[in-house]
């Protein structure tokens, strides 16, 4: 029986120490959910260990198979360019498969609702509450379209309305979406950050939520997020997935 591939969670990294702390908390939850799986963490920038450093260490240990999982919610530049570029520089002895990004997923929508309920809402509030689905933003049209589609689908679960908003690169901003939902007549407005960890852009989302009634926490180490990581890992380890650099 061959050992299962190592799961390498690839996070963006940030100068904000809350970012790395949240990533590590999420990875701890993944390990607790599947104790027999080896899970490592690497960062693209700002934090250590670097992705390249982790891959070098794994190769030196004699590890052969790795599933590299981008800790990203949409397929934008980092997933399409940055991460494949880093993986192509890995030691030749490693067989690396890049997993899909986390979103979209019904589990992530469930995590968004979890955070809203933890912030004070209840299922009974849905029909009278407008929600701002606030993401970091991207210049990639595919990523923006995915956020808009998530908002449309989430609206059909019973909320008064759901509007996408972006902290950078795209419009509308969070404060504009909050204002729109007020004008629409929603009795209350909630902001649900569709981001994984605290940092500069999530802080901008929080400032934009000043006019809202409820601001949820980031997704962070929610159990639903950990389950999505394991789903993406399981899908990527299948033989049909083409190895990076193969």
Q: How confident is the model at residue 225 (pLDDT cuts 50, 70, 90)?
A: very high
pLDDT, residue 240, reads 43
Q: How confident is the model at residue 207 (pLDDT cuts 50, 70, 90)?
A: very high
pTM of this structure = 0.94
Q: How confident is the model over 90-105, as pLDDT tens digits?
A: 999 999 999 999 999 9
Q: Please give the Cα distance from 203 to 46 (Å, whole number).
A: 18
First-to-last alpha carbon distance for the chain, in angstroms, is: 23
Q: How confident is the model over 1-39, as pLDDT tens digits?
A: 458 999 999 999 999 999 999 999 999 999 999 999 999
Q: How confident is the model over 52-86, as pLDDT tens digits?
A: 999 999 999 999 999 999 999 998 777 888 999 99
Class of residue 78 by CB neighbours under 10 A (exposed 0-12, middle 13-18, buried 19+): buried
Asked if the model's pLDDT at residue 246 lies above 80, the reply is no
Q: How confident is the model over 130-175, as pLDDT tens digits?
A: 999 999 999 999 999 999 999 999 999 999 999 999 999 999 999 9
Angle between helices 174-184 and 200-208 (to 10 degrees): 30
Q: What are phi and psi of 75, to 5 degrees?
A: -90, 90
Residue of 105, 143, 86, 97 lying closest to 235 (CA atoms): 97
Q: Please give the Cα distance from 54 to 132 (Å, whole number).
A: 37
């Amino acid at each position: 029986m061959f050992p299962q591939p190592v799961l390498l969670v690839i996070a963006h990294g940030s100068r904000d120490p809350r970012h790395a702390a949240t990533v590590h908390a999420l990875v701890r939850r993944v390990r607790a959910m599947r104790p027999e799986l080896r899970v490592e963490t690497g960062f693209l920038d700002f934090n250590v260990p670097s992705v390249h450093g982790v891959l070098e260490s794994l190769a030196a240990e004699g590890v052969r198979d790795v599933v590299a999982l981008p800790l990203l919610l949409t397929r934008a530049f980092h997933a399409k360019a940055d991460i494949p570029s880093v993986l192509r520089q890995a030691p030749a002895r490693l067989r690396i498969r890049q997993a899909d990004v986390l979103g979209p997923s019904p589990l992530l929508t469930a995590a968004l609702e979890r955070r809203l309920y933890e912030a004070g809402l209840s299922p009974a509030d849905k029909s009278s509450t407008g929600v701002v689905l606030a993401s970091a933003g991207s210049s990639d049209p595919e990523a923006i379209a995915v956020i808009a589609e998530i908002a449309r689908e989430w609206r059909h679960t019973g909320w008064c309305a759901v509007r996408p908003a972006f902290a950078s690169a795209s419009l509308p901003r969070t404060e504009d979406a909050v204002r729109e939902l007020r004008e629409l007549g929603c009795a209350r407005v909630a902001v649900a950050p569709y981001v994984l960890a605290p940092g500069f852009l999530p802080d901008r989302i929080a400032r934009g939520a000043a006019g809202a009634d409820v601001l949820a926490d980031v997704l962070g180490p929610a159990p639903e997020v950990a389950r999505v990581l394991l789903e993406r890992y399981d899908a990527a380890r299948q033989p049909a997935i083409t190895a990076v650099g193969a």
